[in-house]
Every structure is written in C-alpha cells, then in structure tokens.
Amino acid sequence: MRERDGEGAAERRAGTADSEAEGAGIAESGPVVPGAAGEGHALDWARLLASGGLGEARLGERATLVQFSTAFCQPCRATRRVLDQVAGLVPGVTHVEIDAEDHLGLVRAAGIDATPTVLFLDAEGRETRRASGAPHRDQVLAALARML
C-alpha cells in the first residue's frame, strides 16, 4: 500500500464539466452505482484508516482517493501515476493504494469488482464517488472539484 499527500502548489480547475468525470466511469455513489455505498457497502473508512488497519495510510484533510490495484494490472500503474499527480496538485488530497489481493475481505466489503477501482472519499471518509478503469487526470480533477 502507498500513500501520497498533496501538499504542493494548488492547481485546481474551476468550472469543469460534470460530463468529464462521468465520461471516465466516475459516478456518484448511491443506489444507481453497483457496489457503491448506497447499496449496503458503506464502510467506515475514517475508522479503518485511523486504526492502522491499512498501514500508515490516513484520510486526507479535504479528500482521499482510495485505489484498489493488483500487481499485474497495467491500467493500475497508469492510475497510480494519475492519482499521485493529482494528490500533489490539490492541497489536502491524499492517495491511498490498496493491494486487492492482500485485502480480499475489504475488496468484498467495498463491493470492488475490478481493478483499478478508485473510491473518492470526502474529508469525513464517506464515499461520494467511484470510478472503474483508468481515469485521466482531468476527469479526476473534475470529480474532485465537484465534491470539494
């Protein structure tokens, strides 16, 4: 597992279209998103991260990008680079990467069906969005802008 904290220069895009985020498969969590928090998969991410159950990973001050990956997943590597970059650009945003193979119980509890899957958590650790597949940087920034 890896963690990145965005304490660098603030480069946020204002007024990005919601369609950018939706185009990446980034959807708001709720009853219409299979496996999302609204369908019984609500996890207490704040407590899980604070407990040390995922190593040194902690919630970001403003948001946390939780990435589920596997070792041989090529799109997971691209997603890691994008999320690390976003965490470096947006203050208070943290990227946490979870190896799905090492945390199968968490994968099931979170309703993760494929890797990479990215959960967007707010400052309190509530899942607000999720994305399956490798999103582009602009799509992640648009989704974050909508939730921040």
State the pLDDT at residue 31: 29
State the pLDDT at residue 53: 83
Helix 137-147 crosses helix 74-89 at what angle (to 10 degrees)? 50
How far, in Å, CA of 18 to CA of 39, rounded?
23
State the pLDDT at residue 88: 97
Q: What are the per-10-residue average pLDDT scores of the chain (148 residues)?
A: 44 36 56 38 86 88 97 96 97 96 95 96 95 95 93
Instruction: Give yes or no for a contact between 86 and 140, defined as CB atoms under 8 angstroms apart.
Output: yes
State the pLDDT at residue 129: 94
State the pLDDT at residue 20: 45
- pTM score of the predicted model: 0.76
How far, in Å, CA of 145 to CA of 122, rounded?
12
Tokens of 67: 């990435």
State the pLDDT at residue 52: 86
Tokens of 34: 């299979």
Given strand 127-132, what is the order of strands in its sheet? Answer: 2-5, 93-99, 63-69, 117-122, 127-132, 26-28
How far, in Å, CA of 93 to CA of 108, rounded?
25
